[in-house]
Each structure stands twice: as C-alpha cells, then as structure tokens.
Structure 1
Amino acid sequence: MNEWYFDRYGQAAFIVVDKERFVSRNGRNLGWIHMEKQIFSLTGQPLGWIDKGAVRDRAGGLIGFTRAASGTLSSIPGMSGEPGAPSIPGRPAKPGFAGSISDPGSNGWSSKSVRDFFGTDV
C-alpha cells in the first residue's frame, strides 16, 4: 500500500512507489529515493532527505509529510482526504546519482512548493 504525503496546505500531493520513487497525485514520476533516505530528481540531482514520514529539502525545510510522520515537524495543517490511488506510471530509467546527501535536520516549512522541490510538473 502506498502512503500519501501531504503538502504545507494539507493537500495529498504524492506517494512513494516500491520504496524507491515518488509519484504525483496526477500519476507523474517525480523523483527517486536512494539508499533509503536520500532524495534525487529524475535526472539524478540531489534534492533532499526522507525520514520518519517527512520529506525535507537540502536545508531541512519540510516539503511533505505522512499522517504517521514522527519526529520534529513544523506546524501541521488540517489534512484533506486521501484521493484514490493515482495511475502508476512505468518505472523510468534510473539515472546515476550525483553525490550524496546527509540528514539536514529540521528547519520549519520549506519556501519551495512540491513542484519547485522536484523541479517538474506535478
């Protein structure tokens, strides 16, 4: 079962598929999880970190969270209902990953939207 991640407005924004890639609510591939916690773009650029149900940018700003997220979270908005599962797109070719990312810690909400974070249309 894929768990929804909610954005700063409490809207279901994306899911993790097969514990390795992010898919938007509209069924678009967004990015990759590498080494269980590092987040990379579809082209292999480092974006952030995922841990305990929280997605953070490289500066530690919160991008999204699950209902079961734990640890230090910024103020959590009321959450929308979860939509039906999106159509899961085919798995794109996995790129080489440029560098590595360390845990940025927590730093409130990111100034980036989900779209800006992944650098692609959601």
Structure 2
Amino acid sequence: MFDRHGKPCAIWDNTKIRDRHGKVIAWLGGDNVYSLKGQHIGWFDGGVIFDSTNSALAFSRNRTTGLPSVPGLSGTPGMPGFAGTPGRPGHSGTPGRPGRRGWSNQDAAAYLGA
C-alpha cells in the first residue's frame, strides 16, 4: 500500500495490514480497521484505508475507491518474509462513519502501527 506521497508504507495481507518488514500492525474486519489491541482506528473501502476522521491514509495500486488526488507511485520494494501472526483480539464497537474528507495529515505507517 502507498501513502499520500506515493511511497510504500504497508502491506495488505488479506485480513491483516503489515508493516514494510512483514510484521502485523493492524487487523481488517469487514470494512473496518482495528489496532492490534482491537480498537477501531479507521475504515477499509475498496483498497483504501481511511483514518478515524474518514480521511484517506493509504491505498493499494488496484484500488476501486476514489482518492482526493492520486500521487505518482514509487517503485514497489521486494516482499519481505512475513513474521508470525499474533493472536487476534476481540474488536471494539464500530463508530458511525463521518463524511469523507481529503488526505489525512497522519503518517500512514505510524498511524497504523500505533
């Protein structure tokens, strides 16, 4: 996945988001993104991760959801070996989703790994 500057920031791995080194940093549950502790931190829609304010945070090359603007993409780095998958916690409730906004001011890798 790429950040607002088109730089690789995370790996979408089915129901997990991994950092650039292959470590699981967030969970996907349907259209929701959860921290490793199970707290709701955003939404996943058509290959785009939105933060808790519904601002675009990261996107996949083959996304189907629109972006506020599309940056030029850096080269895709080699795929790392994947670390083991931690136990998946129960997920917190899902808040109502606000209207879509522009790009998030958050650093995608830091936000997802927090």
Name the TM-score, length of structure 1 as normaliser: 0.84
Whole-angstrom distance in 1 between the partners of 2:65 and 2:101: 12
> Could you tell me the percent identity over the aligned residues?
34
Report deviation, 1:104: 4.0
Q: Given the alignment of the two structures, is residue 109 of structure 1 paired with residue 106 of structure 2, yes or no?
A: no
Residues 12/85 of structure 1: CA separation in 2 closer, same or farther (3 Å cut): same
Indicate conservation of the 8 Å contact 1:61/1:107, yes or no: yes
* Unpaired runs of at least 5, structure 1: none
1:6-21 pair list within 5 angstroms: 6-17=2-13, 19-21=14-16
State which of 70, 74, 80 in structure 2 corresponds to 1:76: 70
Tell me the amino acid that sits aligned with residue 27 of structure 2: W
Indicate the structure with greater strand content: 1
Indicate conservation of the 8 Å contact 1:38/1:102, yes or no: no
Query: Which residue of the partner structure matches residue 92 of structure 1?
Result: 86
SS in 2 for 1:118: helix
* Unpaired runs of at least 5, structure 2: none
Report deviation, 1:101: 4.2
Q: Given the alignment of the two structures, is residue 28 of structure 1 paired with residue 20 of structure 2, yes or no?
A: no
Indicate conservation of the 8 Å contact 1:48/1:101, yes or no: no
